[in-house]
Amino acid sequence: MSALVELSGLEKTYATRTGDVHALSAVDLDISKGEFVAIVGPSGCGKTTLLKILAGLEDHTAGTASIGGHPIRTGNGDVGMVFQKATLLPWQDIAANVLLPLSLRRRPTSQDREKAAALLRMTDLEGFARKRPHELSGGMQQRAAICRALVHKPSLLLMDEPFGALDAMTRDSLNVEVNRIWRETGTTAVLITHSISEAVFLAERIFVMSARPGRIVDEITVPFDRERSLDLLGDPEFAALTSRIRTHFEVTHA
């Protein structure tokens, strides 16, 4: 598979009132078309900064970053983003929220509405298209947010801890759902997560980041088939992979 995302020598430094903060250091990685990648690391390591650079929401200080062979620029319309909170517009129904990325550019067409309806069917939200966000559970709201991120068929789907605020059972269920959506759409996906088990369950490759300034300290190829079920959580190889990642964050006390 050819690389869709290429980062080389990526650096990010923030200028603050009390001095520079070096957030990212010499990040090198590539992501193939159709691949699912997870990025894990300790709090404050620059994971979300890296995601914002991929989304075109922040500039990098040094190095190169490209999507589809083109330098990443602000306002990249070929990226879909799912945030930690669903951030749905409370005064709009779910169908209108899903269509929002298109509505911001032009008047949605009947084909656009059909596309949104198909995504809602895919995520079992077809019967909730006319509901307001407050009438849906947290998990359903995040599924709607995923539909919104996919409605314009982006080449890259970015997810920043999208299920972190949900209970464990809902989170497990949505992980299975995300795996299915990714397989059915063929979208390239990048997940930022604090959950090691979530990363292993969803990703084909995992990049482990160090403490700030964040750099890649391990790259792990996940050996499981693309289609995954919750039975995988009990697999000894699953436990071995989570243990390998966890060793990067263990603190030795004298």
The alpha-helical segments, DSSP class H, found in 56-131 are 94-98, 100-103, 110-122
Asked if pLDDT for residue 253 goes beyond 60, the answer is no
Map out the domains of the chain as residue ranges: 3-78+155-249, 88-153
Q: What is the pLDDT of residues 195-218, one digit of tens each?
A: 999 999 999 999 999 988 899 999
Backbone angles phi, psi at 66, to 5 degrees: -140, 150
Rounded to the nearest 10 degrees, what angle do helices 138-150 and 110-122 cross at? 140
pTM for the structure as a whole: 0.90
Chain centroid offset of residue 181 CA: 13
Give the pLDDT band of residue 141 (cuts 50, 70, 90). very high
Does residue 54 contact residue 67 with C-beta atoms inside 8 Å? yes
Does residue 136 contact residue 94 with C-beta atoms inside 8 Å? yes
Burial call 131-157: b when 16+ CB within 10 Å, e when fewer = ebbeebeebbbbbbbbbbbbbbebbbb
Give the range among 19-28, 67-76, 149-158, 178-187 with minimum mean pLDDT. Answer: 67-76
What is the assigned CATH class of domain 3-78+155-249?
alpha beta
Closest by alpha carbon to 9, among 159, 208, 216?
216
